[in-house]
Amino acid sequence: MRIISIALTLLVLASCDSGEPVTETPYKPTTEMINLMNWILDPAADVIWGNSGWEMTELGEQELFPETDEEWQNLVNASAMIAESGNLLMMPGRENGADGRGEDWIAYSQAIVDTGNKLLEASQAKDKQAIFDIGGQLYRVCVACHQRYAYPDEQ
């Protein structure tokens, strides 16, 4: 039975394929805005901020940047997540997302995509100074959107 129903499903899917380009994408936003922040964008940003820069310790100046290939790859992964998170912020249909917000919501989201892409390039190049500087720019984008849309009274 199982095999027959799989075969039937494939047949139905095959007959649906008219060869026409898809005009509407059936997005299915899954996280509310607060969880997109807490579970996706914030952890990715923390990987960047926690693994870039220099700090003074008893042993002198210590680098926070990755050392192994695996650690560098983590930075690349986090950068890609940040860039794509900007697209998630703009996705239609997300609760508390772009729908009904001002145009600047899109501008802030695009700034996340652009900053994420720059981080991606810099971490692939292992360009420490660039990662540090762009990490700072990223922080300013977060704060700007939060001032406008998340915690307007606090800042």
Minimum CB distance to ligand HEC smaller for 42 or for 127: 42
Minimum CB distance to ligand HEC smaller for 45 or for 122: 45
| Rounded CA separation 97/34 (Å) | 10
x-or-dash pattern for ligand HEC, window 90-119, by CB under 6 A? Answer: ------x--------x--xx--x-------
Q: Of 7, 8, 10, 38, which lies in the binding site for ligand HEC, with binding defined by CB under 6 A?
A: 38
Closest approach, Cβ 15 to ligand HEC, in A, equals 41
Q: Give the list of residues 6+ apart from residue 36 with CB closer than 8 angstroms, or none.
A: 85, 88, 89, 94, 97
Closest approach, Cβ 84 to ligand HEC, in A, equals 12
Q: Of 7, 34, 64, 125, which lies in the binding site for ligand HEC, with binding defined by CB under 6 A?
A: 34
Q: Which two tokens stand for residue 89?
A: 């912020």
**Count, residues near ligand HEC per rule CB under 6 A:** 20
| Rounded CA separation 35/13 (Å) | 34
Window contacting ligand HEC (CB under 6 A); options: 16-24, 50-58, 66-74, 144-152: 144-152
Residue 139 CB: number of other CB atoms within 10 A? 14
Q: Give the list of residues 6+ apart from residue 123 with CB closer than 8 angstroms, or none.
A: 72, 75, 76, 79, 131
Radius of gyration from C-alpha coordinates of the chain: 21
Minimum CB distance to ligand HEC smaller for 9 or for 38: 38
